[in-house]
Chains A and B, each alone.
Chain A
Amino acid sequence: MVTSAIPRSGREIRDSVVIRFAGDSGDGMQVTGSQFTLETALAGSDFSTFPDFPAEIRAPAGTTFGVSAFQIHFGGTDVMTPGDAVDVLVAMNPAALTVDVHDLKVGGTVIVDTSAFTERNLGKAGYAKNPLEDDSLARYQVLKFDITKLTADAVKPHGLTSREAHLCRNMWALGLLLWMYGHERSHTIEWLKRKFAKKPVIADANIAALNAGHAFGETAEMPEHLVGYVVPKAVARPGRYRTVSGTEGLAWGLVAGVRAAGIDKMVFAGYPITPASALLHTLAHLRAYGVVTFQAEDEIAASGAALGASYAGALGVTSSSGPGIALKTEMLGLAIATELPLVVVDSQRAGPSTGMPTKAEQSDLFQAVHGRNADAPLAVLAPATTSDCFDIAIEAVRLATKYMTPVIVLSDGYLAHAAEPWRIPQEADLPKFPVSYRTDPEGFHPFLRDPETLARPWVKPGTPRLEHRIGGLERDYDSGHISYDPDNHARMTKARADKIAGIARDIPLQDVAVGEDHGALAVVGWGSTFGAIHQAVKIARDEGRDVSHIHLRYLSPFPRNLGDLLKRFERVLVPEMNNGQLVKLLRAEYLIPAEPLSKVTGKPFRVTEIVQAIRNL
């Protein structure tokens, strides 16, 4: 964050600010963050958000493992990450303070609810002494407000129980933060009225708390040294914008892709799993858009139902996270063997096994590219940002249907929940790639190949005189009938590999996101690390370093120029949220001495971590 010391109407102007709301998982921090995001968006700032919540739905109150946080980075310049260090931390209890204060920059502001700092809560958070009463927070600007009492006073006229009143604290904090940045409250008030339409008393009380927090900022009760900040509007390409999360981008992209392919139906089959369930929930609301959602009995059945739907001529889509994708593996083999389209969305999370379900990681790359029995190639894509999720989903549908193959989309827990502003496309401007189902019986067999794509024909059951049988047994190249012929198996194995490899001719050449297409260092990333790498490379370049950023969206096959491009750099650094997976694929594929930069803490890269790695090379 850059600070420009130009006071205006008593407020400091800042290019960008990072705020984190932290509290108990029952304190409504995600809602608070989302509403702050909405008001920020409507104020015209660019932003990037990062929700960080525990796996437990309601962990025991006051504990450190029950802390739920929502971070937003917003400003007038290109905001590409949720921010490394926090400018303002709102800590609703001691546990939130102890967990999150380490990310607060020196001199940063921490706002605490003094009522929550009881002996009991301090004990649960592991504080021997109250940090508000010693000098342990001396490095920060600590604003101690009795938010509990101030909220209770504000909602008193509405006759709430003390428990209900307590639940309004987050709105009080939101009101204060909205005041600090000169944001509107009106959209939040509307939202509260809608949300609590059937409980107008609760709506009114929350609005009262929100207004009280806002008024608190305005009044003389605010300490004199706290002034509001002004964050200028971002300069954005003209057009209509909205907030989009990765999950929404994927859901809408799938709908758009199915329409672009001229397929009348998408069957989305999933099984509840964190953090992939959000896609099932989002699509379940889109029945009017040609979507049928199916909550299967398990991950295997979800992939089976999706594949059955594709066999029947719809587009089958299934989704999960790492452990669930593992269960779908055998069905992916069948999809590859029978050469049917299938889109598989993997919202990666930290593992192995159950791992850390709510924490992000990029550790399913090997699983996606190679994690099946036998030689079983398929296409793998990865969106770079939340807005890119929309485009990648469309591309997944295009490749799946054009090449009659499963396509895995590697999202992650961070992309799934993070949000950013998105310039809304118009359907008329989107690509069109209509599929043609085979209806002509002349010379038909189910594994006839298109000479260019090597794809087999897609036949809808119901089509007269094209009745045929397919399955997992190896089939004859020339007839599609079961075949155990050794040479035929070699030929079919090659055909399946060539088909996927040939996709490289049909995808864009690899571009360079920042910098030249040759030089001393290429920082090569994939997936959700885009923002952090991008910023880091820009900073390194500002320092005069010869460094470029290359970001892969296609991981299988790789773009056809990738090897040549990488060989034009003296060194290649590969930051990944795993223990070194892309780096090994690049080394294996191109025999280049690419170097890993791994982060496996369940948290996204900080910009500074990558900058430091570049400096240290």
Chain B
Amino acid sequence: MTVTTITDAQLAPKDYSSDQEVRWCPGCGDYAILKAVQKACAELALVRERTVFVSGIGCAARFPYYMSTYGFHTVHGRAPAIATGIKLANPDLDVWVMTGDGDGLSIGGNHMLHVLRRNVDLQIILFNNEIYGLTKGQYSPTSRRGTRSPSTPLGSIEYPVSACGFALGAGARFVARSVDTMQAHLVATLKRAHAHRGASFVEILQNCVVFNDAVFDHITGKEVAADAQILVEHGKPLLFGKNKEKALRLKPGTLELQIVTAGPDALVHDETNRPLAQLLAGLEPPFPAAMGVLYCKPAAPYEQEVYAQSGSAKGSGELDALLNSERTWEVT
């Protein structure tokens, strides 16, 4: 997050829209994410000229073109590196990285690892649709085993990566998950990510209506959501189910979660507890998928520490002094 000041009258979500026609497929989950981001921008009163959206390549990467802020559509997987350079050049800019499961976890997996561990002050929003959309439907690193795609006609035999699990493993200090269709939850999650100083990682489960439609229905479907999701909140018991009748707790004598009837032994979410966040990130059916801020434990952002060090660097700052440092001799 970067401290912003309001220079204009309060802007509405539409004021963060560029004049460019949005060209995602009709029904794509990206529309809902765009709407949520613009709403979050308005609610946070972000100053457009100080806000930069950076993306790599893929459907999600078209995002900057649709924002009225500064935007840079870059190279496949490399947005975290470019965003790092932007923050090193000007730490006052409010920089968002918009990426996808292929862009951020496959071709750009290395950059994702390092931008998270360095803790550069960025909001990194990963649209996870478990498929390569722009290249017409190949399986991605988050696709489940068995996914049939043009490049895996017999079904994928690879084990998928957990986006949030990866981020936590990389040392991210803010890790959250939300869903494209959960507008209120998504806006609130984006605002939390923005408030966090340092690298904030948000995975958004996003439906690709063309190549991977309904892939998250078992989590997001209206009928199943209450049982298939657990909305985590710091300091509150980990309850889920239509009537919050179910709870998660640590299985006694082990380091794993188990589902129990809600009661006094329900585990209380502590978003500063990394091992707990890792357990929550890894929940798979029959467990509910964890939504919300899984982990948040701030530390000084990278670029802030860089400039703190620069302040104590040796040298006068004068070129002539630099060139005349060390041994010199005079020829007359």
**A residues lining the B interface (CB < 8 Å):** 38, 41-42, 44, 187, 236-243, 252, 255-256, 259, 265, 267, 269, 285-290, 292, 294, 296-298, 300-314, 316, 330-331, 333-334, 338, 423-427, 460-473, 481-482
Task: Please indicate the chain A residues that have their CB under 8 angstroms from the CB of B55 in the complex.
Answer: 471
Q: Which residues of B contact A (CB under 8 A)?
A: 7, 18, 20, 48-50, 52, 54-55, 57, 64-65, 67-75, 78, 80-86, 88-90, 92-93, 110-111, 113-114, 306, 309-310, 313-320, 322-324, 326-332
Query: Is there an interface contact between A297 and B71, defined as CB atoms closer than 8 Å?
Result: no
Contacts of B68 in A (CB 8 A): 467
| Contact A308 to B54, CB < 8 A, known contacts A267-B85, A297-B114, A470-B73 | yes
Chain A residue numbers with a CB within 8 Å of B71 are 467-471
Which one of A187, A290, A309, A426 lies within 8 Å of B88 (CB-CB)? A309
Decide: A256 and B319 in contact? CB cutoff 8 A. yes
A-B contact pairs, 19 of them (CB 8 A): A236-B331, A239-B331, A240-B331, A242-B329, A288-B313, A294-B88, A300-B81, A301-B81, A304-B85, A305-B82, A311-B89, A312-B89, A461-B49, A461-B90, A469-B71, A469-B72, A470-B71, A471-B72, A472-B73
CA of A302 to CA of B111, assembled, Å = 10
Q: Report the separation of the CA atoms of residues A237 and B114 in the bound assembly, to the nearest whole angstrom.
A: 50
Q: Which of the residues A238, A304, A472 comes within 8 Å of B81, measured between beta carbons?
A: A304
Could you say which residues of chain A place their CB within 8 Å of the CB of B73?
A: 469-473
6 tightest A-B CB contacts, nearest first: A308-B85, A471-B73, A304-B81, A288-B315, A287-B313, A305-B85
Q: A461-B93, A469-B65 are in contact. Are A42 and B85 (CB under 8 A)?
A: no
B331 and A42 contact, CB distance less than 8 A: no
Q: Which residue of A lies closest to B118 (CB)?
A: A297
Q: Min CB distance, B103 to chain A, in Å?
A: 13
Say whether B319 contacts A313, CB under 8 Å: no
Answer whether A481 and B49 are a contact pair too, CB < 8 Å, given A242-B329, A267-B88: no
How close is B222's CB to chain A, nearest CB, in angstroms? 36
Q: Which B residue sits closest to A466, measured CB to CB?
A: B49
The SS class assigned to the A binding surface is: mixed
A482–B315 alpha-carbon span in the complex (Å): 46
Select one of B83, B85, B114 contacting A316, CB under 8 A.
B85
Contacts of B319 in A (CB 8 A): 252, 255-256, 259, 289, 427
Most chain-B CB neighbours within 10 Å: which of A300, A424, A427, A467? A467
Whole-angstrom distance between the alpha carbons of A288 and B313 in the complex?
A: 6
Chain A: minimal CB distance from B122 (Å): 11
Known: A289-B322, A469-B64. A311 touches B330 (CB 8 A): no
Are B86 and A288 in contact (CB-based, < 8 A)?
Answer: no
Smallest Cβ-Cβ distance to B330: which chain A residue: A240
Question: Which residue in chain A gives the minimum CB-CB distance to B63?
Answer: A469
Q: Answer whether A311 and B85 are a contact pair too, CB < 8 Å, given A287-B313, A288-B317, A469-B64.
A: yes
CB distance from B304 to the nearest CB of A (A): 13
Evaluate whether A461 and B85 lie within 8 angstroms (CB atoms) in the complex, with A331-B78, A427-B319 already known.
no
Best-surrounded residue of B64, B69, B319 (most CB of chain A within 10 A): B319
Cα distance, A301 to B75, chains bound together (Å) = 11
Q: How far is the CB of B4 from chain A (nearest CB, A)?
A: 11
B89 partner, pick from A241, A255, A267, beta carbons under 8 A: A267
* B90, A314: Cβ atoms closer than 8 Å: yes
Say yes or no: A242-B326 contact (C-beta < 8 A), given A305-B81, A334-B74: yes
Q: Is the CB of B309 within 8 A of A462?
A: no
- Which residue of chain B lies nearest to A330 when distances are taken between CB atoms in the complex? B75
Residue of B65, B70, B71 with most chain A CB atoms under a 10 A cut-off: B70
A239 to B68 alpha-carbon distance, docked (Å): 56
B50 contacts which chain A residues (CB < 8 A)?
461-462
Which of B65, B88, B324, B330 makes the CB contact (< 8 A) with A292? Answer: B88
Indicate if the CB atoms of A331 and B75 lie closer than 8 Å: yes
Q: Is the CB of A311 within 8 A of B315?
A: no
In the complex, chain A residues whose CB is within 8 Å of the CB of B328: 240-242, 424
Q: Counting chain B CB atoms within 10 Å of each CB, which of A243, A301, A313 scores highest?
A: A301
Measured between beta carbons, the chain B residues less than 8 angstroms from A309 are 85-86, 88-89
Contact across chains for A461 and B52 when beta carbons are under 8 A apart: yes
On whether the beta carbons of A44 and B331 are closer than 8 Å, the reply is yes
Determine which residue in B73, B75, B309 has the highest number of CB atoms from chain A within 10 A of its CB, and name it. Answer: B75
B residues in contact with A287, CB < 8 Å: 309-310, 313, 315
Give A482 to B23 CA distance when docked, in angstroms. Answer: 12
Please give, as numbers and ranges, the residues of chain B lying within 8 Å of A238 by CB-CB distance: 331-332
Interface contact B88-A471, CB-CB below 8 Å = no
Give the nearest-CB partner of B107 in chain A: A300
Given contacts A259-B319, A308-B54, contact A471 B74 (CB under 8 A): yes
Contact B18 A469 (CB under 8 A): yes
A316 to B69, CA, bound (A): 22
Given known contacts A302-B81, A312-B86, what 10 new A-B pairs fall within 8 Å (CB)?
A239-B330, A241-B329, A256-B319, A294-B306, A297-B81, A298-B110, A333-B75, A465-B49, A470-B73, A481-B20
Query: A241 touching B330 by the CB < 8 A rule?
Result: yes
**Chain A nearest CB: distance from B328 CB in Å?**
5
Shortest C-beta distance, A347 to chain B (Å), equals: 21
Judge whether B85 and A289 touch: CB under 8 Å.
Answer: no
Q: Which residue of B lies closest to A473 (CB)?
A: B73
| Set B84, B85, B327: member contacting A187, Cβ < 8 A | B327
Which of chain B's residues has its CB closest to A464's CB?
Answer: B49
A427 to B319, CA, bound (A): 7
Nearest residue (CB) in B for A41 is: B329
Chain B hits for A243, CB < 8 A: 327
Q: How far is the CA of A465 from the CA of B329 in the complex (A)?
A: 53
Contact across chains for B310 and A482 when beta carbons are under 8 A apart: no
Q: Report A49 CB to chain B, min CB distance, Å.
A: 15
Query: Which residue of A has the minimal Cβ distance to B302?
Result: A294
Contact assessment for B85 and A288 in the assembled complex, using a CB-CB cutoff below 8 Å? no
Chain A residue at minimum C-beta to C-beta distance from B18:
A469
When C-beta atoms are compared, the residue in chain B nearest to A315 turns out to be B89
A305 touches B18 (CB 8 A): no
Q: How far is the CA of A68 from the CA of B306 in the complex (A)?
A: 37
Given A286-B322, A289-B317: A463 in contact with B310 (beta carbons within 8 A): no
Once the chains bind, are A467 and B78 in contact (CB under 8 Å)? no
Which residue of chain A has its CB nearest to the CB of B324? A424
B145: min CB distance to chain A, Å:
29
